[in-house]
Amino acid sequence: MLLQSVRPNIVQSIRAFRVDDLMKSAEEMGHHFLYANLSKAQSKQEVLDGIAEAFLFPVHFGKNYDALHDCMTDLVHKSGAQSGFIVVLEQLPDGPRFDREAREQLLDVFRDAADFWADRKVPFRCFYSFR
C-alpha cells in the first residue's frame, strides 16, 4: 500500500508521491480525494477561490480561513460518517501576494482539520507542493 508509511492524520509536502498514485490509493481505501491545482492563484483570495471551486464548497462559503476550516470539518462531519480523506494542494503560490506567512496560515487550517479528524478516528492526509 502506497501510504502505509504515512501517518493517518498529517499535512506534509507531496515529495515523492504522484497525484495519480494518491488518487488511486484514495479510491482503493474508499477515502474522499480532494484535489486543487492552484497554479494560477497569486493571492490568498485566489487560493481560497481555487480550493472552494475544486472541492465543490457551498455557494455561501465565506472565503476566509475560518470558513475553510468549517467546510473541512464541521460541515462534512455533520453530513454523516466519513471513511477518510486524501487532500492534495498542488502548486501553492510563492510570491508577495501569498508569502510564507500566508502559506503557513493556510496549512495550519489543514493541520487543524487533520487533528479534528484524528479525534474522530478518521484518516486525513493532506499533501501540498509549492511552485
Over residues 11-36, the mean pLDDT reads: 96
Inter-residue contact 114 to 124 (CB < 8 Å): yes
Closest CA to 124 of 86, 95, 71: 86
pLDDT at 77: 82
* Distance (Å, whole) CA 92 – CA 106: 10
* Distance (Å, whole) CA 119 – CA 76: 14
Instruction: State the pLDDT confidence band at 85, using cuts at 50, 70 and 90.
Output: very high
Number of continuous H segments (helices) and E segments (strands) in the chain:
5, 4
All structural domains of the chain, each given as residue ranges with its CATH number in brackets, are: 9-130 (3.30.370.10)
pLDDT digit string (tens) for 41-84? 999 999 999 999 999 998 888 889 999 999 999 888 888 889 99
Whether residue 24 has pLDDT greater than 80: yes
- Using a pLDDT cut of 90, give the percent of the chain over it: 84
Over residues 73-99, the mean pLDDT reads: 92
pLDDT at 80: 86
> b/e per residue, 25-59, with b = 16+ CB within 10 A?
bbeeeebebbbbebeebeebeebbbbbbebbebee
Whether residue 105 has pLDDT greater than 90: yes
pLDDT at 76: 86
Q: What is the DSSP letter of 56?
A: T
